[in-house]
Structure 1
Amino acid sequence: MISLRPSGEHAPLRRLAAQYGGGLIALSPWRLRTRDDADTRALLDRALGATRALATSPAAARALHQLRPDWRAPATQRWYAVGAGTAAALAAAGIDPVRWPQRMDSEGLLQLPDLQDLDGEDFALLTAPGGRGLIEPALRARGARVIRADVYERLALAPSRAQAQRLCALDAPTLLALSSGEALQRVLAQLPEAAGAALRRARVSAASARLAQLARELGFAEVAVAAGPQPEQLLAPGLRPAP
């Protein structure tokens, strides 16, 4: 299996791949770092006064807990997450209940019934610079006053020579767990030509139809849409437990 998750977030996929008798090649396009400075803390404090709040990733939830470990959400504040993993990270930070969509991506989140009319509401967005940028303009278009706090950042990592060599040496069926289009594009742009061609020979398990279409456009021939972005869901297409 090939994972494009940020550095430090490969462990669940590594454990599951081992259960299926496989290994894991971790191609992290970046590592994540909490922004711990006075300006970020001040903006976070302002955001935490909003009536509604959204953490866009587990890293955003962890950064909130790191920056404000003693903060507790008021009972009247509504919290949202893009998926179950982020909701679990918020719960670990003491924030519960948290609403998240069955379709665990930006589009699924924006389909939640109670996010359709936000006229005049302050809405905290805990996130990082970059990404697709779909959520913030949609919330503003629905009337929300978005208070954005970039509480962590992505620091670019280039694939190593050893990782490229491992890709070129692959001679067994390989599955690419795809949950980020930006990560895939970044990795392909940095790999040597032979390693990029080897990566494109992998079967793709995409977390959404949008990501599946992107994979096809980038030259992947065998693409399946998984039930969601969780490790168990991404591993499901075409794999069977090892005897």
Structure 2
Amino acid sequence: MHVAPMQSPTPRWTLVSLRPRGGHDSLRRAAARHGGGLVALSPWQLQDRDDAASRTALQRALSADAVVFTSPAAVRAAARLQALPAMVACAVGSGTAAALRRAGVAEVRVPGRMDTEGLLNLPELAASAAGRIGLVTAPGGRGALQPALEQRGIEVLRADVYERVPVALPRRAVDALRDAPRPPVLALTSGEALQQVMGQLPADALDALRTATVIAASERLAAIAREAGFERVRIARSPRPADLVAAACGPDGGRVPVA
């Protein structure tokens, strides 16, 4: 007897992700648990820096009193350049902290508030405690962090161990945004990514994106969304996929986002 294959249910709402190419799986799974589908609008892909200058900068950064890693990608790129030594490592969030522990780093500090402001509140980054701070990141990453540390009189040893290489938005993803149920939900974890995507989208697809309810990972990103013309903006508890989707679905955990 022939058995027809199971058909995937049609998603009841759409989450738009601006994460780098290949980095959408966790958001896709989180949305699917609440009946949502995902449109992956990657404005760039991540590429390691593997040259003598990057290696030297990383060695200097890792010699500091404490070392800040701004993303899981920064941890992975650094670990590919060299084995990470014993150190006090400060992670911007739980994902970065988990990547550090997988890389063998035992002393990891994570702020309660997973953003730049939360990092700056860590005791290890106070002016009285820190002489030199290593910063392992990418060009453009956590742009407010280094100036804030330097204003405290802290010497920052920066190592850009990977970079974001701009890529064209996938045509299929742009078409999916046009056809998505309205309004979509935009998971916003990077202001630079939003700028890149809005600059690439054709007018009709940009109009579709502007109808979105924005779920921002921080108050700073919420302000960026409002300045970009988005009218419905909510703030998630953290940048973690589960928290972004939970903020989209409302306090009752409903399976369709609330406006």
Q: Same-fold call, TM > 0.5?
A: yes
Map of 1:39 onto structure 2? 53
Give the alignment of 1:162-173 within 5 angstroms.
162-173=172-183
1:235 equivalent to 2:248? Answer: no
Provide TM-score, normalisation by structure 2. 0.86
> Do the aligned partners of residues 115 and 132 (structure 1) sit closer, same or farther apart at CA in structure 2, a change above 3 Å counting?
closer
For structure 1, list consecutive stretches of 5 or more residues without a partner in the other structure.
none
For structure 2, list consecutive stretches of 5 or more residues without a partner in the other structure.
1-14
Provide TM-score, normalisation by structure 1. 0.92
Task: Please provide the CA RMSD for this pair.
Answer: 1.7
Q: Which moved more, 1:116-125 or 1:106-115?
A: 116-125
Q: Which moved more, 1:109-118 or 1:184-193?
A: 109-118
Distance in 2, matches of 1:72 and 1:11, equals 30
1:117/1:143 contact within 8 Å kept: yes
2:247 match: secondary structure: coil
Map of 2:149 onto structure 1? 139
1:149 match: secondary structure: strand
1:112 equivalent to 2:122? Answer: yes
Map of 2:9 onto structure 1? none
Letter matched to residue 127 of structure 1: T
1:119/1:143 contact within 8 Å kept: no
Distance in 2, matches of 1:161 and 1:54, equals 37
Distance in 1, matches of 2:222 and 2:248, equals 15
Map of 2:36 onto structure 1? 22
Map of 2:16 onto structure 1? 2
2:80 match: secondary structure: helix
Give the alignment of 1:70-219 within 5 angstroms.
71-73=84-86, 77-118=87-128, 121-219=131-229
Q: Which moved more, 1:14-23 or 1:192-201?
A: 14-23
1:56 equivalent to 2:65? Answer: no
How far did residue 46 of structure 1 move? 2.0
Over alpha carbons, which structure has the higher Rg?
2
Map of 2:3 onto structure 1? none
Identity %: 53
How far did residue 178 of structure 1 move? 0.8
1:118/1:139 contact within 8 Å kept: no
2:41/2:174 contact within 8 Å kept: no
Q: Which moved more, 1:140-149 or 1:177-186?
A: 140-149
Letter matched to residue 69 of structure 2: A
Stretches of 4+ moved more than 3 A in 1? none
1:83/1:100 contact within 8 Å kept: yes
How far did residue 51 of structure 1 move? 1.7
2:75/2:99 contact within 8 Å kept: yes
> Do the aligned partners of residues 85 and 120 (structure 1) sit closer, same or farther apart at CA in structure 2, a change above 3 Å counting?
closer
2:67/2:89 contact within 8 Å kept: yes
